[in-house]
Chains A and B, each alone.
Chain A
Amino acid sequence: MTAGETSPVLEIRDLTKSFGPVSVLKGVTFSLGPGVILGLAGENGAGKSTLAKCISSQYRPDSGTIRVNGSCFTVPQEFTLIPTLRVYENIFLGRELSRYGFLKKKAMILRAQALLNKVGCTVPPRKMVSDLNVAEKQKIEIAKAFLDRSKLLILDEPTTVLNRMETETLFQILREFREQGGSVIYISHKLEEVRTICDRIVVLRDGVLVADEASGDLSAEEIARRMVGRNLTRIFPPKRPADPGTDEVLRCENVSSGREVLDVSFSLKKGEILGLAGLAGAGRTELAETICGFRRRSGGRIVLNGTAITRPTPDRMLRAGLSYLPEDRQRTAILPDFTLADNLTLSSLSRYTSWGFIREKRCREAAARYMERFRIRAASPDERLGNLSGGNQQKTVIARGLDSSPSVFIFDEPTRGVDVGARGEIYEFIHALAESGVSCLFISSDLEEIIGCCARVLVMREGRIRGELSGDDVNEERIMFLATGVK
């Protein structure tokens, strides 16, 4: 916008980076002036996070140059908060305020409070990070970015767990930051958001920069087309109407758990996709965790396939036919040091054993099949899962849930960090699953996908179900009304 050519904040020339035989970035060149928000789009595994890590010198590029003018701060895709420390301690980690070697605790708490207010986070600074939900953690990661006066901010998928209002707050801050001459690299799969907030958009495909244009010149469809290199058809498959005649598979009666889940009752029909909407902290994840036996239930009854489950534990529920895709992928779903195949078969290992011994070959063949079916991008089934890009990890976890042939599948934010193409695939998958008689509970903060996928939607607020919508009532206005309680 202003004098971008004279003193760029960031200059990248012919950047290449590979991990062993896999080359991830292949000659990326672009520069970024001050006061610009740059959108970075690309499929899962295109190399976005790798590029971000090269800029923040976490990775050393193989060749090419990166010049950063001034300081740079990255909000990484995967959380880096230490769960056993308090919120303010995490914010100041490595940058503690001290005098004569003693920590200035009061000052830090005050600063932290100010930063939290700024990013619209209501968590008290003294709270333990382990007690926070993912949206709160994400906001704290963002707050950390504004502690120092960096010239360049890199946000790697900051809004995957934020709802619309929280996203709007973030945009407000970013615009302020831009006014003050700061530059931002904004990585996201939510293309509409990218178009809204960014001045300029670059698109990576397989590590090659395939587009670099002003955001006004690119429609979301066009970005998606450049990302995958072909035309994308409509992303939501046709809705399946809720059929009242079919059998009930899962019923919750007055289920409560602590103060997070209060008196929740609903029933899920065979082959239905039931949406569960609400703001972050409304108790949706807690409800899911209660149903799948991870949280202690303080009251109520859960009936799965006609039998009441008296003492649910995750393994019992799994064997009773319930799969769960957790929201917090890193902490609850993946073993990064295990291979892709080992992660994928973890819940259903008994299928791959004979005489008690694991048949490695069968595991790998199954993994290879799922890799093809879900288009999971990895060198081989023996690749360490931690090396895969976020979206590909997510697909692997979904595949694991499917591999134990569930009758009910609870998806908690299933498209978190998944690219447009793959997102469409996941929606189609959920539909195909429902088609084949599996009942799905679909939890999401993304209203668009709830509206696009579900014929019936429950809305939660403050631990209770505030309403059930179906048919034409499933629209943004009605859901937001129930979710926030204000018109």
Chain B
Amino acid sequence: MTEVKTMKSERIRRILSYVGGPYMALAVLFLVCACSSDVFLKPDNLLNILRQVSYSGLIALGMTFVIVSGGIDLSVGSLFALCGVCSLLSIRNFTPVQPVAGMSPELCGLLLGGAVCVLTGVIGGLLNGSAVVFGRVPPFIATLGTYSIFRSLALYLADSGTVSTENYTSEPFRPANELLTKIGECEVFGMSLPGLMLIVLTVVLGVLLARTAFGRHVCAVGSSERVARFAGIRTGQVRFLTYVIIGLCVGVSAFLAAGRLGSVSSTNAGLFYELDAIAAVIIGGASMSGGRGTLAGTLAGVLILGILSNILDMWGVAATLQGLVKGLVIIVSVLIQKKG
């Protein structure tokens, strides 16, 4: 009886030692912000922060899998743009004129856009995964390549411009796009859809990483691929799947972002998202060399970065200097974790 108890407390201590740091930092930051600004604590502001971070946050969730398995994905920002462009283009060009299977044309168009967006993300992930697993290209290099490829495709498809509603009024694209924008703006339980999605996916993916055999295998492969192979784990398959997961996350994120703005800029969409995502994962306590990391930690990392840029805005820190603060936070957080 007592032994079971000590085992439990030991386990809790171990989990705390993984995510305790990031959440402590989050709490401190939260307190500082709450004391120094009276706008900060307003629900509107908090929800706004949540929405702002959710796009790169969703990607960070997928990035956690990739990094824990010992890989890295630099292509996510470009893939984000490509997903958005493909999605809006397909809504624009293929939304049916007549209802299909009892669904209004605009709903069909919306579903089509969503499917294309997520599918593009998954295909991007498949490409990365294939290059890394079958081509044996180191992840850094493989995704550096696709980083360039995806962005270039997005620019080509969108004529280096923005795919949007403003100058394109033909039926039935317009209503489909309005519906899309509604999705982007829609609120559930007072929360924006992207924010809610972030929290839901954190829980779902968190369970996948911490509680399933697949998640355990991801950690094992990241700890030592050789040992994992000898233990009979299909290491190639595991690593492949992590890239598919992040592709999926990018697709979902891109669709929500497209809905929010009603348009996608092929030059600017998703710019630097890879860095934000990696930073969040690292602040969340994952090891850059793989084997260790949690989704809860990553969520803390995402929120820390979001709150930070929010409060810096409120304090009136020049936008040009915000990168400096962010950079310091990343380095300091890793330093602290090393010590602990």
Contact = CB atoms under 8 A, between A and B. Distances in A.
Interface of B: 3, 6-7, 10-11, 14, 207, 211-213, 216-217, 219-220, 223-224, 226-234, 291-292
23 contacts: A314-B229, A314-B232, A315-B233, A324-B230, A331-B227, A332-B230, A333-B230, A334-B227, A335-B223, A335-B227, A337-B291, A338-B223, A342-B216, A346-B216, A346-B228, A347-B231, A347-B233, A349-B213, A353-B213, A357-B211, A357-B212, A360-B11, A381-B7
A358 B230 contact: no
Interface of B: prevailing SS: helix
Contact of A349 (B6, B207, B216, B234): B216
A342 B228 CA distance: 12
A476 B227 CA distance: 34
Contacts, number: 75
A314 B234 CA distance: 8
Contacts of B211: 357-358
A144 interface: no
A464 interface: no
A319 B211 CA distance: 23
**What bracket does the count of chain A residues touching chain B fall in?**
20 to 34
B226 A346 contact: no
A346 B7 contact: no
Contacts of B11: 360, 382
B208 to A, nearest CB: 9
A358 B212 contact: yes
A337 B213 contact: no
B292 A337 contact: yes
A332 B7 contact: no
Nearest to A381: B7
A447 B228 CA distance: 31
Contacts of B232: 314-315, 317-319, 347, 404
A342 B230 CA distance: 15
A199 B233 CA distance: 48
Contacts of B229: 294, 314-315
A381 B228 CA distance: 20
Given A346-B220, A349-B216, A332 B226 contact: yes
A317 B233 CA distance: 11
A356 interface: yes
A324 B11 CA distance: 30
Contact of B14 (A347, A349, A382): A382
Contact of A338 (B212, B220, B226, B234): B220
A205 interface: no
Contacts of B228: 335, 346
B18 to A, nearest CB: 11
